[in-house]
Amino acid sequence: MEPLAPAAFFILFALASGDKHGYAIMQEARKLSDNGVQIGPATLYTTIQRLLESDRIREVPGPEGGDTRRRYYRLTSAGKASLNSEIARMEALVKKSKGLRLRPAEGS
Amino acid sequence: MKGLLQFSTWMYRKLLFLYPQDLRREFGSEIVLAFAADLEESGLLRVWRCALRELVTVALPGQASNPFFLSPALAFLATALTESAFVLVGIHQLPHLSPAEIVSMWLAALSASSLDACVALVVTCFYSRCSINVLRLD
């Protein structure tokens, strides 16, 4: 499986904690990356469009009393698989970096 | 401040025409909603910096296959580069030019580039309406 682009990764990551509309995904992505990743509105919806086309996310009805102007999105099983595979890839990279002593080991 | 935020949102909505049509049609209103909400939360400068960056990273690549955008853009760029070279040579050769003269030279270069972009757009529109059989000579 090909590595995910940062925007796609953080959108899937943000949706892992539950259904969200676009702006909530933007806020969650910022929180998850400690403000390190800035996903603007156009990047967000371009990526959402691609993720919908590749069936990694799907549109779902919003919650009772939710904002009717906004659409809500949910992670699909294909999306979860992509996210898990990306996290596994990152873990493998961190493991390799530890082996090469590129960063100090924890506690030292 | 509220007026400035509303003006920013209005301007951003107008800029959306630079984005691919399918994205605008499907998500246009939600993109503007997200922009307006972010404007209130993150502030004017940060949001506009991001929006301008997205014009280059999202809007322009998304229009790469649209001849109605690409041909005027290329015409504008080609003329702007050529005219800018002439203006720079002029400034170098004539060191006693007044600031007003330099500004008018740049404005002339900008006008020529815009005119070329308009001509390119008209030509693209014309050829897109012509059937390929009409253009054949045999």
Residue of chain A whose Cα is closest to the Cα of B57: A43
Residue contact A45–B27, C-beta within 8 A = yes
Q: Considering only the beta carbons, identify the residue of A27, A40, A45 that sits closest to B50.
A: A40
pLDDT recorded at residue B66: 79
Going through chain A in order, the beta strands assigned E by DSSP cover: 20-21, 57-60, 72-75
Q: CB neighbours of B102 closer than 8 A, spacing ≥ 6?
A: B87, B91
Chain B residues whose CB is inside 8 A of the A22 CB are: 27, 30, 33-34
pLDDT recorded at residue A74: 97
Cβ-based interface (< 8 Å): residues of B facing A: 19, 22-23, 26-27, 29-35, 37-38, 41, 47, 50-51, 53-54, 57-59, 62
pLDDT recorded at residue B12: 94
- Specify the DSSP class assigned to residue A4: P
Q: What is the mean pLDDT of residues B111-122?
A: 91
pLDDT recorded at residue B138: 47
Q: Does A48 touch chain B (CB under 8 A)?
A: yes
Q: What is the pLDDT of residues B66-87, one digit of tens each?
A: 788 888 888 998 999 999 998 8
Residue B4 has pLDDT above 70, yes or no: yes
Q: What is the mean pLDDT of residues A72-89?
A: 96
Residue contact A42–B58, C-beta within 8 A = yes
Cα B110 from Cα B84, distance rounded (Å)? 9
Q: What is the mean pLDDT of residues B14-22?
A: 89
Residue contact A41–B51, C-beta within 8 A = yes
Residue contact B62–A46, C-beta within 8 A = yes
Tokens of B108: 């002339």
Q: Does A45 touch chain B (CB under 8 A)?
A: yes
If pLDDT is split at 50, 70 and 90, which confidence band does A103 have? low
Chain A residues whose CB is inside 8 A of the B51 CB are: 40-42
Contact yes or no for A13/A85 (Cβ under 8 A)? no
Interface test with A, best of B19, B24, B30 (most A CBs within 10 A): B30
Question: Which amino acid belongs to residue A80?
Answer: K
Residue A104 has pLDDT above 90, yes or no: no
Residue contact B37–A23, C-beta within 8 A = yes
Q: What is the rounded (10 degree) CA torsion for A70, A71, A75, A79?
A: -110
How far does A103 lie from chain B, in Å, by closest CA? 32
**Residues facing A75 on adjacent strands:** A57
Q: What is the mean pLDDT of residues B93-122?
A: 90
Q: What is the mean pLDDT of residues B107-111?
A: 92
The pTM for the full model equals: 0.73
**Residues facing A58 on adjacent strands:** A74
3-state secondary structure of A72: strand
Residue contact A40–B54, C-beta within 8 A = yes
Q: What is the pLDDT of residues A32-73, one digit of tens each?
A: 999 888 899 999 999 999 999 999 999 999 888 878 889 999
Tokens of A18: 């539950």
